Amino acid sequence: MSAQGGTLLNTWFFDGITSDDRYSVTLDARGEIYVAGGATTQFRLPSSRRGALNAFKGTASSDAFIAKLAMSQIQVIQDTYTAVLPTSNDFVLVQRVINRGTEDADNLSFRGSIPSGLTLVNCISGTATCFNSGTAYRVDVGQLAAGKAIEVVLTMRFVSAGQGIAFSIINNVTTDTYDSYLADNSSGATVFLGQSGTSCNFALSALTQIVPATGGPVTLSISAPLSCPWAASTQTDWISFATPNLAAGSSNLTLNVSPNPLTISRIGSLAVAGQRVLFLQKPAGFQTATFSDVPVTHPFFDYVQMMRFYGITAGCTATEYCPDAPTTRGQMAVFIIRSMLGTDDFSFPSAPYFNDVPGSHPQFRYIQKMRELGITAGCTANTYCPSDNVTRSQMAVFLVRARLGLASGQSFPFPDTLSFTDVPQSFQTYAYVQKMKENTITSGCTTTTYCPDDNTTRGQMAVFLMRAFLAP
């Protein structure tokens, strides 16, 4: 089914016990599986955690049911790290496993291997136990709730290393719960021991690229000193390497991009020398604008179209999106939770967290979920201010916390080189704005400024959300 539930994308029909039984399996836009059917004979569904299905039986009269397969969407994110290390001192890698699905992930196991020449000195994973053999690590979690994450902090040491040699730390995650997309269930970080006294700064020809629907070769230029090695990797299954993904100094990296079979644009990502590059691929055929005030020529057209396609927004009216209007804190809660979980069907605490968001509030469930996941603590200790506009500074906090699955009070690594002149290190949300820039979610309001006190428009919000959540 489409994200709006109005179009069948793929479906299969099959017979039941008798000729009067009919069943159907349907996929929606996220790859989630639904089973529907009816019967006049006695039958029993497989056991389910949802009580209503446990005792369902067909009766003498026609009966019907619809069931949805529990689904997680696990994503592994390699956090900030220095690709070329100037000395053989201990270094730290931070990895995150996030459940972006609609259901809890059961019996999750996150494992990684350490290459020869390195040893794993320490492995920490919050409240979970990290098993460390020195050459491998494993974190087991009985259940990872939807929207939640686990953080794994690895401390490693070079034990026998030569300059310029690549050391790749590879990991993957498995779970008993169905996941329709496995490409982002694994990741890797490649580090090098650089020459003493050499400073390796990498400049890429572009951090965002637009790719035609037909795909084909795409070239990215990397500029760096000759003695500085680099590596590239991707978790996007429609992007592959046409040239070697390991090199040193300035070089060109050529990628093969598959044709886009969708009727909507899609976003993929690539990591090069610790930097995130995003690719926006256009859909095949002519696109018709969903909203009258966001025509095909609008700079945010592709992002707003994706927002509508994935059911994240229905617009400000039946025909308009209002891209220049400010985003309220209430609207932002809806956008973020729908982008994170891909659904409006999720659990949330019934007792209100905030005095100004009672159970009757139209955005109650989304704001409750924001607070439950630790994305917000409110505008005061007991209020949320749902009608207030969201500034670009506040939005950075919300998006980064949601993207990384941060628990309340949890910190994260970020680049220490100033990204914007109007967001100094003393600025309250400095770390979050730095992370936004590092993840290529924003390039600023100008080339040198971020405009942290400006309101976030609905058009800008579409870009930020799709870049934050549609690609690892």
Within 13 Å of residue 105, how many CA atoms lie on the same side as its CB?
28
Q: What is the pLDDT of residues 263-289, one digit of tens each?
A: 899 999 999 988 899 999 999 888 889
Cβ atoms 452, 433 nearer than 8 A: yes
Assign residue 9 a region: left if phi > 0, alpha if psi is -120 to 50, beta otherwise? Answer: alpha
Cβ atoms 236, 203 nearer than 8 A: no
* Cα separation values, 364 from 269, 360, 368, 384, Å: 33, 7, 6, 11
CA 13 to chain centre: 33
> CA-CA distance, 373 to 408, in Å (whole number)?
8
Cα-based angle 368, 372, 373 (whole degrees, multiple of 5): 120
Question: What are the structure tokens assigned to 320, written together?
Answer: 């308009």
Question: What are the structure tokens assigned to 28, written together?
Answer: 């929606």
Q: What is the pLDDT of residues 70-124, one digit of tens each?
A: 778 899 998 878 888 876 678 899 999 999 988 889 999 999 999 988 999 999 9
Q: Please state the pTM of the whole predicted model.
A: 0.85
Cβ atoms 43, 17 nearer than 8 A: yes
Residue 374 pLDDT greater than 70, yes or no: yes
Pick 138 or 102 by higher pLDDT: 138
Residue-level pLDDT at 3 = 46
